[in-house]
Each structure stands twice: as C-alpha cells, then as structure tokens.
Structure 1
C-alpha cells in the first residue's frame, strides 16, 4: 500500500488557481507523521530566466528550497515538489523528476539541522491542467534503484495545534585567534551552538505544568470533529552552565561576542502529536529563526575599515514577523530590519510562498524593535515609579522608599536588556 497524503481542504480550489495561473512547478510544504504526510501549502517557484529542457530547473528550485526552509515554523518542512503537468510525465520524465528531488535535498543537506532528516521518502505531485486533479507518487531518495510509487492524495479539513515560546537567549563566547579569521556569520553561529545544543536536553513546561514527553499534546480531552486546534505555551528550561558568562572565559581571545535577547518560537503540530514532538519542533524553529536572522544580518553588513581604537560594536539583527498561509491556520515567517515596516515583507512572502496579502495581514507584534520596546518599558516603569512615590508620600514613608525606587529601576534595566535580540562584539585584539 502506498503512502497516504492528506492535504488542506482549501488546496482543492488552490490547485485550480495554480494550473490556470501559468505556474510550472514548486514546493510541497507540510508535515511528515507516522503513516502519512500532511500538506499545508503549495508554493510556486518563481520563474527562472534560464532556459531548461527539463520540466523542473534543478538548481533554481533548490535555491528556492533553501530560502523557504528558513522561513517555515517548527513542525513544517519541505515534503517534495509539484509540477503542473499531466500524469504522463511520471513515465516520460521520471529521471528528471528524481534529479529535481535530489537537487532539493542535496541543497538542504547543507542545512541538516533545519529540516526533517528522519524520513527519506519524498513526494512528487502532478497537477493536471486539464482535469485539475492531483496525482501523487513517493520516492525513496537513498535508494538508487527505487522507483516512483503510487501515493493516495486526498483533501480534507485539517486542524493544527500551535506551540509557542518566548525563548531567552544569553550567550557569551570568546573568538580565538584562528576563529577570528573566519566570517562574522561563522563566528556568531559557532557562539550560538552550545546554547542550541543545550536545548536538546531542555525540560518543558506546557501551560505552566511539567508534562511527560510521551503524553499527547492535547491531553486526554481530545475530541474528534472539533473545528479548531489549540494553542499551547511552552517554557524550555535548559542548562545555563553550557553557556558560561564572560568572566568564565579562561583562554585569551581576539574578541568576545555577546548575544542577548528574547525570540518568539513557533511550531505547528498534527492533532495526535506528543509533547516531546512539540518540544523538538520548537527547538528546530529556534535554530531556523536564529540562523535566518543572523544570515540576513551578516549579509547586510558593509565591510568596515579596521580601527586601532578599542570599541564595542552593537548589532541589532532582524526581528520576526508572521503571515498566514491562505486558507490555513499555519503562519510562516519573515524578518524585518530595524526601521522596516510590515509592508516590506509583502514582496518576499509573495515571491517565496505565492501569498497575496495586505499589510494588516502581517503580524508584527510577536517581537518588537529594541528602541520601541525599551521606550515602552521605560515609560511603563516611569509611571510605576511615580505611582510608588505617590503611595509612599501618602503613607509618610521614609528610608524604605529609596529601596523600592532602586528595585523598580533595576527591573527597568533588566527589561531593556532582554527586550530584543542584540549582538555585542567584538572586543579589540589582545583582550579577554
């Protein structure tokens, strides 16, 4: 029996739109589960200017896949590809279809921790422009002798559970002599690796409660036929000793990188997912999110002339925004540089995912720019300080009022420290 593929109901009408839009091929986005694949979206690959005799331009769709994977939330992955063509293409161009699939996953192998490597079975779907029907096959890429096997594709209403977490990132890392010769991106990602590795052993609180990892995410009250999934708040409790503070850096270093902030993590799970599956999806989302924004930030930097003056450089990487997939509860990401607005995401979301959105569709409140958030928190703290001072004056308080004010000021300082993701570094050579 072939693999079962269940696609979001809204995609049934989306297929009719795709085959009439001039689209040629694209990526299948969804989630692999035990026994079946769940499809959340079909995103067309933008047209390529390069001529190709094959139904799919291998290098072009592979490049598209590398860009898309970093913007997917946890739990979502690239399941395969689709081509607008009749089912006869399976017989006439099986070699070319295998080649295109291989190109996609060979490109993703360079980002092994950003995508699902637990399954080797990938999908190829043909969207018949005449009948508007979908014919699907699966292929095991690891076997050179495997052939395309029939897969049952059907549409149905789907529900997704949403897991989210506000993850605090506090990393201090020394850059050694040899590492100082590498790119800034390499230095930053190397600095983040101990922190990301520590998340693998993190304990989880779900809605404030410690839950067994093998338990269903939805608990025992899951009822078939409900119209919507649930949202769960996760706290990932990780070992902070794996990311030592700067005073514990023992060896001389060329520079010190500090990464402080709080990021929004997001994952979508099928309704039978366990707590451990949700935690794993959130960990992958954290890695994708940090990798994406650090890559964007480092690529945007203009090379500066080296200076002999001791200096600390403060960087603010892009912040995360979310946008809904048409007809689905699933949201994908984009990242905005300081000063950008949600409208700046519309072109990226259109080109990579084929989404036609309005500015109001982009959710830009999950992470707030550092200046805006710091100003908001300072204003709130100032109001709190005024209220405390007024209460103390009314009560005739004396010395203890100073302690209250100092404590409130300390809280303001902490709020500013973790309000956004910041990179601080490097120090001048020769310091430690």
Structure 2
C-alpha cells in the first residue's frame, strides 16, 4: 500500500497555474510516475490532461440534476453538481500514453480539477474511471492514485483507490502528499538488448492465430530475461552497490543457456514450423536515488517485454483497422495473391508458406529533465508521427531539433516463420507403416542375396575350367614344338 506520494514541484505548480488562468469548470487527466515497493511510495513526474474526444467534447464536465437548476447566487452555490466523465475515452488515452512511457514510468492514476462538492458527489464515478484506466494501462500494483485539485478553496488532496471488484465510497482512502524535487534525483540506465528467439510451432498451436503464438513466444522470452544476469557499466550487479554519478549507466543482460525442455517439442511429428524473432531493442529506466539497484534491473527487463508487446498490439490494432479493406499486414513468401486477412489475424494452419512480419521500430524524444518518452514507427512513417503524438497525447511541445530525437534502433525487428506444412511430416502411425515397409524391403534384399550365392559359385567354376584348358593348350603346343 502506498503510504506517501511525492510530486515534482515544478510540474505540479505549472499545471496549477495553467488551470488557474484558464479556469475550466472541470478537467481530468493522467498521473505519470512510478510506484516503489521498497519505499511504499509513489513518485509523480507530471500531470497530462486528457484531450477532447473525436467529437471535440471535453473528457469531463459538470452536470446538474434534472429537477434542479443551478443557482445563480454566489452566496448559495449549488451542492448538487456532479461530474460526468467519458470513461472509455480516458481509458483509451491511458492505453496510448502507456505505450510512450519507458522503463519504470507508468500511468499511476488520475487527477481531477473540480470543486469540492462535485468531487464528493462523484466518488463512485471517479473510482470506476480509475479502474478503467488501470485495466487499460496495467501495472503490477493493486491500487491507483486519485489526485484532487480543489479550487474552492484551493488545495491538493491525494487518495488511494483500491482496485477491488466492488466499487464503493470506501474504495478511496487518503494518503500523505507533498511536493518536492523528484526529477533531479533520477538516475538513467540504458540497455541495448540483442536477441535471436527461435521457437518451434507445435501441431497443437496450428489452430491458433499468428498473434496468439507470437504472444506466447514473448512470454517465453520474458522467462529467459527473468533469469538473466546483469552487468552495469561492465560490472556484475551487486544489490548493495550504489550508482550516484549523473552519467548514463550502460546495462547489459547475460541470458542463460537455453534449456532443452523449453522447446516443448517431443518429436518431429509435433512440429509444423519454426518462428524466428530477432533484433535489437533499446530500453531506458529511471531510478530514484533511494531505490535499490535491483529496481533498475527489473524496470529494464520489464520495459523490454512491454516494448515487444506494444509493437505487437500496434500491429494487431492496424490489422483490425485494415481488415475491412482487405489490406495485408506482412507478406507470405512466394505468395503472389494477397490474403484476405492480415497475417496477424490468420490461423497458422492456413499459413502453409513461410511469412515475414516487420515490427515497428522504437524512437525516443526528450521529455522532462533529460527523461525520454518513446513512440513506434512503421516502415512508411517518419519522426513527424512522433511529434504529432507528443503534442496530442502528452500535451508537450514537439521537439524542433531533429538531432534531439534518438533513433537507437537502426533496423526494425525481424519476424519470420518457416512452415513445414508442405513437407509431408509423417504421423505416428505412418512412421510404423514406413518402418514395416523398410523391414520387408530389407528382408527381400537379404533373401535375394542368399538365393544368388549358387549362381555366383557356378560362374567362378566355369572361369577356372576355361583358364585351365587354356594352360593345358599352351603346354601341349610347346611339347609338340
């Protein structure tokens, strides 16, 4: 349970000044930060407002009961006002923003700018919105934060929201909140993770979709990363060691030797293809000076897997959008006719030819105090997409200097499959039939060799008789001479 919350003072004051000047009746947005289990604390980096929806309507607004009209008297303000929040839109905003965050940084909750009366009348809706955000942007934590910025009178209140299935008014509990210097105390860790994942496609998986099998492959790589040893700045990680320098710390992951049991293929009859996923992933993590060094390692490993999952989600999202237009995402090797469904949605059993699927590459843009946010670009996209997403989703100024954009992943991740469907892989019963046939053939050859021995002896005897007669003829010829 979070016992205390510390927010970056410069960013929170900037948000407060903006809200004071614009004076909207209500505003909802996301809390960006990180939970620290070792300290039972949460650190807030920034507050990001949820943009208007596709209909240009704000994500939240103040409503009044139908049987009551809002009071025009300033001395008798209406206490019946409540919030209306577009939960689905806020959750979608959280889902897209979570893809742009790097290791350790998460969507940790919501903030709401609203009067005290409207807040008290809307606790159930606020808890439901928080839960929707938690489902859209999962974090390994059983609670989220709800930060209330009250403008009458002006104050900041922070509460924990339990993610239990039954949402009640008791789901919100107050917690200690203060502002301080958070960003300046962060240390940066960077990792270039090179990998080459080759996994068999089993017969039982042939009825699953391409994306399902790929998610399984990513989960297997997550298990491999969990057991990886870590080098930081060329030294093996020691739990008690501290890294106080301001320089970027280089992280290297040493994967364990593959375990034969993880292949899961017992014999040739179980395997119908091979999936190969290889490439290089750039990952960042940010560590508070009071956190143990193991947290940076955990954040790096988690960021690598999250990055793979985010890329697959983007492919699947585009496949859903393109399915109505019959556009093919990826290509089947040697297949001249485009398939009706994108590769990500197709069943493996139908992919009788090998196929390849390019993964989006990860690019980074500077955000706050040396921190990076990221985005994923398809082969046909440029960094202008990154700039647009920074403005639209993060409400930040787009980077004007192209040199500040980090493109560490020069090449896209490569995913290829080789199908064995066209190769007649014998079943278990067919193997026995083939063995029986080979046994009969070998027995026939053996019997023919045995039957052929007398004939072989007769030929040798005839040759000996002929040679002997020739010799006798030569002897008689010389004797007569």
TM-score (norm 2): 0.68
User: What do the CA deviations read for 1:326-352 (whole angstroms, capped 9, x no partner)?
Assistant: x43321110111132211211222222
Evaluate the alpha carbon distance shift between residue 163 and residue 62 of structure 1 in structure 2; reply closer, same or farther with a 3 A threshold: same
Partner of 1:27: 30
Paired residues for 1:19-418 under 5 Å: 20=21, 24-33=27-36, 34-48=39-53, 49=55, 54-108=83-137, 115-117=139-141, 120-129=142-151, 133-142=155-164, 145-156=170-181, 158=183, 159-212=185-238, 214-218=239-243, 222=244, 229-242=246-259, 250-301=268-319, 302-303=327-328, 304-305=338-339, 311-325=353-367, 327-360=368-401, 363-368=405-410, 370=411
Evaluate the alpha carbon distance shift between residue 155 and residue 175 of structure 1 in structure 2; reply closer, same or farther with a 3 A threshold: same
- Does the 8 A contact of 2:218 with 2:305 survive in 1? no
Unaligned 5+ segments in structure 1 are: 223-227, 371-419
Question: Relative contact order, CA 8 A, sep 6+: which one is greater?
Answer: 1
Q: Give 3-state SS (helix, strand or coil) of 1:80's partner.
A: strand
- Provide the aligned length of Structure 1 versus Structure 2: 365
Unaligned 5+ segments in structure 2 are: 64-82, 320-326, 329-337, 341-348, 426-481
1-side partners of 2:267 and 2:9: how far apart? 54
1-side partners of 2:209 and 2:390: how far apart? 28
- Does the 8 A contact of 2:200 with 2:263 survive in 1? no
- Does the 8 A contact of 1:2 with 1:149 survive in 2? no
Q: Give 3-state SS (helix, strand or coil) of 1:10's partner.
A: helix
User: What do the CA deviations read for 1:75-114 (whole angstroms, capped 9, x no partner)?
Assistant: 1112110112133444222222112112222344xx5xxx
Q: Give 3-state SS (helix, strand or coil) of 1:65's partner.
A: helix
- Does the 8 A contact of 2:218 with 2:309 survive in 1? no
- Does the 8 A contact of 1:139 with 1:149 survive in 2? no
* Structure 1 position 6 matched with structure 2 position 6: yes
Residue 247 of structure 1, CA deviation: 11
Q: Give 3-state SS (helix, strand or coil) of 2:271's partner.
A: coil
Q: Give 3-state SS (helix, strand or coil) of 2:258's partner.
A: helix
2-side partners of 1:269 and 1:196: how far apart? 21
1-side partners of 2:126 and 2:350: how far apart? 55
* Alignment match of 1:422 (pick from 381, 404, 414): 414
